[in-house]
Structure formats: C-alpha cells, structure tokens
A and B are shown apart, each in its own frame.
Chain A
C-alpha cells in the first residue's frame, strides 16, 4: 500500500534551517511528483511547492522562493523540503503529499520556531 512517512518534530531557533524528509513506499517513486503543504496552528492549508520525482523539476510558492528547497533522492524514494532563515511564522505542521492531487499524504511534521 502507498505510504508517505515523514521525519519527526523539530524545534529550531529563528534564523536556523530545517530539513524535513518524506519516505515513499508502495509505488514507483519516479512515476509521481511530491507536493509540500504546510498548516500554521489553527490556520488553513498553504501550498509550498512541488517536485517531479522523475526529473527533479520544481515549482515554489512565490512567497517562499529563495528560502525553500525541495529535492528528491531516488535511490531511497525520499523527498526533502528545506526551509532556511526560519522565522516564528514558519511554525507549522509540514505535510508531503503525492503528486498534484495529493491522493496520499504523510502524517505531518511539526516544526516549531522559537527563541
């Protein structure tokens, strides 16, 4: 069965970086892309970006461009999402989801940014 398993919760200081992983199983990893979505406490869903696991092409939300990098490691069927120069408003649960329509989701990774 398709599964996306994300790395554990992180606590970071402002200005630091965080890298969240998303390990896929149960399907051909390079046949689908991976989307990243985040949700601040008590807020709605925010699309962050997408990567093609086939060729590594990426698309990012404009507001995060320059601070976020999404990558894949096909040998381990894992996608990564890194946010640099963290701010307090980056505190959120970060989700990976399969492809554009998000038919499968990871369990979420809580990232807390606090001094």
Chain B
C-alpha cells in the first residue's frame, strides 16, 4: 500500500498568513492527489484534485502543486473560515490512502 505522510501535523497561524502544507507519498503517484478540508463535525470538502486543479466553487486562495511523490497545498491569505484540518489522498492505486491530516488553528 502507498503510505501518505503530511507535515506539519499541526500549525498555528494568524489571519492573513500564507500557509503551506506538504504531503509525501511513499512511491510515485503521478499527479493523482486530492486535498480535502474538514471542519469539526462536518463531512470533508473537496478542494483540489489531480494535484493542482481547483474544484468548482473553491476560492483561488487555495492552490496545489507537485507531482510524483511530493505535493503542497498553499493557502495564500488565511481567513477565519480556513481554520480546519486538511487531508491529502492518493488515488493512483488501490487502496486509496489518506494522509494523517494537518490541523490549522489560530495563533
């Protein structure tokens, strides 16, 4: 199985900060990587697919990059509604696997 890791596991940031989360796959996954945002008690929300493609309706402050094994999610200017947990997921090969998550909270 492909193992997904994320760093950092948590971070504290201020409104307006630029935030970058890293996701690494244990083997190459081409660009078959998705990013999700989850708030407490809510279902995950899809942000990005195919490493860098924004889902419809997702604001452009979110961006994704990377290919192969190393990927990043960037939030250009953190807003109060962005404090949440972020997960990456590979869908290159079964079983699809998620990273452990990165919690972004208020500094």
Listed in ascending order, the chain A residues whose CB lies under 8 Å from chain B are: 35, 37, 44-47, 50, 59-62, 95, 97, 100-108
Contacts and interface: CB of A to CB of B under 8 A. Distances in A.
A95 B87 contact: no
Q: Is the interface of B mostly helix, strand, loop or mixed?
A: loop
B46 A45 contact: no
A47 B95 contact: yes
Nearest to A49: B95
Given A62-B1, A102-B36, A103-B49, A45 B44 contact: yes
Given A44-B98, A59-B94, 5 more contacts: A46-B98, A47-B95, A97-B44, A100-B91, A105-B45
B34 interface: yes
Contact of B100 (A44, A59, A60): A44
A47 B49 contact: no
A61 B95 contact: yes
B43 A45 contact: no
Nearest to B99: A44
B43 A106 contact: yes
> For A60, A61, A95, which residue has the most chain B Cβ atoms within 10 angstroms?
A61
Contact of B44 (A50, A62, A102): A102
Contacts of A97: 44
A37 to B, nearest CB: 8
B34 A47 contact: no
A45 B98 contact: yes
A32 to B, nearest CB: 13
A45 B102 CA distance: 12
B91 to A, nearest CB: 4
A101 B54 CA distance: 12
A47 B94 CA distance: 10
A103 B44 contact: no
Nearest to A106: B43
